[in-house]
A = this chain, B = another copy of it.
Amino acid sequence: MAKNLTTRKEDYSRWYNELVIKADLAENSGVRGCMVIKPYGFAIWEKMQAGLDKMFKATGHQNAYFPLFIPKSYLSKEASHVEGFAKECAVVTHYRLKSTEDGSGIVVDEEAKLEEELIIRPTSETIIWDTYRRWIQSYRDLPLLLNQWANVVRWEMRTRLFLRTAEFLWQEGHTAHATEQEAVEEAVSIMNLYADFAENHMAVPVIKGTKTESERFAGAVETYCIEALMQDGKALQSGTSHFLGQNFAKAFDVKFATKEGNQEYVWATSWGVSTRLMGALIMTHSDDNGLVLPPKLAPIQVVIVPIYKGLDQLNAITEKVNPIVEALEARGISVKYDDRDTHKPGFKFNEYELKGVPIRLAIGQRDLENGTLEVARRDTLEKTSVPMEVVIDKVETLLEEIQKTIFKKAKAHQQSHITEVNSYEEFKVVLEEKGGFLAAHWDGTATTEEKIKNETKATIRCIPIDVKNEAGKCMVTGKPSPYRVLFAKAY
C-alpha cells in the first residue's frame, strides 16, 4: 500500500484530512456534516469508551438513557442555555411521510405536523433536569451521579471529520448535589479524571484550567476544561466539566427537602467528552507515515507479517508464529497474523504504518534459520532483530515503553510551546512564528478578549488550575492583571 500522504510541513490541515480517510478511520457521508465512523476508527473509539466508562463507574457513576428529542419549550427554559444553542438546532416538525397524489414521489405529510417542535438534543441538560424533578425529593435522593453515552446534533456550518461534525458521539454526565461545595468538587474531580484519561490512556498531555466567562458553557457558572496542543501549535479543547450552580434546578423547579426539613434548589454539574478526542489522538502523535497509536488504545497492538516464497516457507513460518500469537493473546495483547497471499510484505508494512499499529513483527527464511524475528516499533520506526525465545517479553515491555515514549515526546512539545509574552507586539509575533500557548497578562474583560480574538484569532484557552499569582499589566490595555492566562489559536 503506497501511502502518498501529504506531509505535515506541506499542509498540516490536508495531512490530517487525508490521514483520517486513508487510515480507514472515518469519512463524510451523503448527509451534510455527518460522518461515517469506519470499523477501524470505531474500534479505537470503543477502547476510549471502555476506558472512560470504567473510570466513571469506579467513581460511583451509573449509566442511563434519556430521549433524543427535546421539546422546544424545555430548551427555552434556561435563558443563556437556549441562547447558546438556538442557532444550531436540528428541528423535527412532522412525524409522517406520504406518497404524492400522482404517485411520483414521497413528501412530508402536512397533516402530521407536531403541535410542538422537537429539537434533536444538542446536549441534554433540559430533558434530564425535567426528569430529575420527578426523581429528587429529599436529601436522601442525592447525590445523583448519572452519565449517558449518546449521539448529539449541533448544526455546524463548517465541519471536519471528528473535530467538528453536525452529529457526534459523546458521553454526558449530569449530576445533582445537595450543596454547592459538593457540586464544585464533582466538576473538578471529573476534570481530573479527563486529564488522567487523556494523559495515561491517550498519551496526550493536557493543561487543566477554567474558562473565561465568554468561553463558558451556555448555562454554566464555571467551566473546567482540559486543553491539548497539536503539532501545528494549535490548541484543542478536549473535555469540559461544568459547575451549573442552581441554574437548571431553578429553570425546572427541582428542590429537595434538607435534613432540617427546608426546601432548597439542587446544585448541578454536567461534563462531556466526544469523538473529538479522536482528533486530538490522531493529531498529537501521528507523523508523515501515518497514524501513531498509543498501545492502550490500539485495536491491533502487534501485527505479524510473514516474508516467504511459496507455500512451504509460509507453512514453516506459520508453525513458528502460531505459538507466538497464542502467548501474546494469553497476556491480553491483541495481535494479528497477516498471512494474506494477495499482498506483498512491503504493501503490508506500509498499511500497518499508516494504521499506527504500535509493533510489527516480521519473520522470513533467514529468521527461521537464525531463530529470530524482526521487531519494528511504529513510533520511532526502529527495527531490531530479537531471538524468538524472548520475543513475548520484548513485545510486552516495548508496548509499555511506546506508551511512555509518545507521551514524553508530546509533553516535551507542549512544554516547549508555552511561551511567556509581555507585550501585544511580542504576542502577535510569537503567535504567528511559533504558535502554541502564550502566557500573557489580560485585564479580565470580555471586551479585551474579543479584541484580541478579532485581531489575532487567538482565544483564551484557560486560566490554568495551577496559575501563579503574578501582578502585571494587561498586554493590550495596560490595566492591572493578577496572573497570566493561556492564549492560543484553537481547533
Contacts and interface: CB of A to CB of B under 8 A. Distances in A.
Given A35-B67, A36-B67, A95 B91 contact: yes
Contact of A65 (B37, B82, B108, B140): B37
Interface string A81-109: 01000111111111111110000011010
A395 interface: no
Contact of A92 (B64, B97, B120): B120
A265 interface: no
8 nearest A-B pairs in the assembled complex, by CB-CB distance: A34-B67, A39-B62, A37-B65, A86-B97, A95-B155, A91-B94, A93-B93, A76-B106
Contacts of A153: 68
Contact of A108 (B62, B91, B131): B91
30 contacts: A29-B66, A29-B130, A30-B74, A31-B118, A31-B127, A39-B63, A39-B64, A42-B64, A46-B63, A68-B153, A72-B106, A72-B108, A76-B106, A82-B97, A82-B106, A86-B98, A86-B99, A87-B96, A87-B97, A87-B98, A88-B95, A89-B96, A90-B92, A90-B94, A90-B95, A91-B93, A91-B95, A93-B108, A95-B155, A120-B120
Given A36-B65, A42-B62, A67-B167, A30 B89 contact: no
Contacts of A76: 105-106
A92 to B, nearest CB: 5
A366 B348 CA distance: 69
A82 B97 CA distance: 9
Interface string A3-38: 000000000000000000000000101110011111
Contacts of A95: 88-91, 155
Contacts of A36: 64-67, 131
A95 B31 CA distance: 13
A334 to B, nearest CB: 12
A450 interface: no
A90 B118 contact: yes
Given A43-B63, A155-B96, A30 B71 contact: yes
Given A68-B167, A69-B167, A72-B97, 16 more contacts: A31-B71, A34-B67, A34-B69, A36-B64, A36-B65, A37-B65, A42-B65, A43-B63, A72-B106, A75-B106, A86-B98, A89-B96, A89-B97, A93-B93, A93-B94, A97-B119
A151 B34 contact: no
Interface residues on A, range: 35 or more
Contacts of A27: 134
A70 interface: yes
A76 B140 CA distance: 52
A169 interface: yes
Interface centre among A35, A36, A96, A98 (most CB of B within 10 A): A36
Interface of A: 27, 29-31, 34-39, 42-43, 45-46, 62-72, 74-76, 82, 86-99, 105-106, 108, 117-120, 127, 130-131, 134, 140, 146, 150-151, 153, 155, 167, 169, 342
Interface centre among A64, A66, A146, A151 (most CB of B within 10 A): A64
A31 B67 contact: yes
Contacts of A74: 30
B67 A146 contact: no
Contacts of A90: 69, 92, 94-95, 118
A27 B127 CA distance: 13
Given A36-B65, A119-B97, A31 B70 contact: yes
Contacts of A45: 65
Contacts of A93: 91-94, 108
Contacts of A31: 67, 69-71, 118, 127
Contacts of A69: 31, 34, 90, 167
A293 to B, nearest CB: 17
Interface centre among A35, A89, A150 (most CB of B within 10 A): A89
A70 B97 CA distance: 13
B68 A151 contact: yes
A147 to B, nearest CB: 9
Nearest to A70: B31
B66 A42 contact: no
Contacts of A108: 72, 91, 93, 117
Contacts of A39: 62-64, 146
